[in-house]
Amino acid sequence: MKARVAVLISGAGTNMAALLYAAKAADCPYELVLVASNNPDAPGLALAAAEGIATWAQSHKGMSRAAFDALVDERLRAAGADYVALAGYMRILSDDFVAGWTDRMLNIHPSLLPLYKGLDTHQRAIDAGDRFGGCSVHVVTPALDDGPVLAQTPVAIVPGDTAETLAERVRFAEHQLYPAALAAFVTRERAPDWLLGRVRALAMALPEADEVTSHGMPCFGIVKGKKFAYFTHDHHGDGKTALLVKISGADEQAQLIELDEARYYRPAYFGDGWIGIRLDLGDTDWDAIGDWLRKSWLAIAPKKLAGLMAAAEDFQVATRVIASGAKQSRAVHAHSGLPRGVAARK
């Protein structure tokens, strides 16, 4: 199943066109489901429509940023988009809009980030005497052009270059870079190295956790103690990328497999006390994986260590409750007009 991508444009949409034509390849892992614009006259809309891609456009003029972004968000979700690609979309996005697409929205920027965020990137590179300009694909975050960089292509600055001549060559690089970076991004949740990195971060955050290799697999345990998780990829040729964690026994194992046989399975050679959880289905709930790792860790942790962890978690809960109470108290005083430290009376 291909990832469903919506593209936002404001003008000619040449990078959108690069994504569109790359998506025609049979092995491309994404498809375009919508091209949307804040400019009803954007030439890219006609191109997308001619190629059979759904389009939508409305001017942002006369609308607040939040209201317009909410309207765009509604259209993206109605189209069933899994990801959003910004391609010459000349709007600063609201924090709420960005939050709604966290880790699912990319942008292409005409510089070698972190250099030259914002506008006039080519002239700034020339004025600085740089040897290279270029382009970057990055994850969109609330700060302008500040998200993690996924891929870059440097483009040589030659004697006599102007901003216009450099921009023309950078556009060639953009049209090569963006489709490849988007394809890699939408398939990352099935990529073993990326999945192992996520598991490792969660497992190693647990107290006294360590990592070794056991039976050819990355294995996580407590230092000088028992093991609580294994990461497996195509183990014994089973074609699965999965996390193996401890469970209570055969009954729990059978219940989980019955609940979701596509996700849970009995791992070969591990017996009834373990469950395999597929990570390569493209829809992994990483909060749930964190919970599974914690539960498995608790199953093998010494009582003293488990008690210390429980105490630390109780302290964190108490701290959040106190902070929430203080925040509510400030809100009450602000609403009542009373100064802080003065109780509001009914």
CA-based nearest residue to 2, from 22, 44, 32: 32
- Terminal alpha carbon distance of the chain: 59
CA-based nearest residue to 127, from 175, 166, 183, 179: 166
Is residue 210 exposed (0-12), middle (13-18) or buried (19+ Cβ within 10 Å)? Answer: middle
Q: Rounded CA gap, 147 and 149, in Å? A: 6
Contact in structure between 30 and 3 (CB atoms under 8 Å): yes
What Rg do the C-alpha atoms of the chain give, in angstroms?
Answer: 25
Q: Rounded CA gap, 218 and 275, in Å? A: 16
Q: Rounded CA gap, 342 and 190, in Å? A: 56
Output DSSP code: residue 214: E
- Write out the DSSP string of 85-120: EESS---PPPHHHHHHTTTSEEEEESS-TTSS-SS-
Residues 6 or more apart from 169 whose CB is under 8 A from it?
A: 155
Three-class SS of residue 152?
strand
Contact in structure between 150 and 137 (CB atoms under 8 Å): yes
Helix ranges (DSSP H) in the chain = 14-22, 43-50, 65-78, 95-100, 121-127, 163-186, 192-204, 250-259, 286-300, 303-336
Please tell me which residue in 109, 122, 138, 175 is annotated as part of the active site: 109
The answer to whether residue 109 is catalytic is yes
Beta bridge partners of 214: 217
Residues involved in catalysis: 109
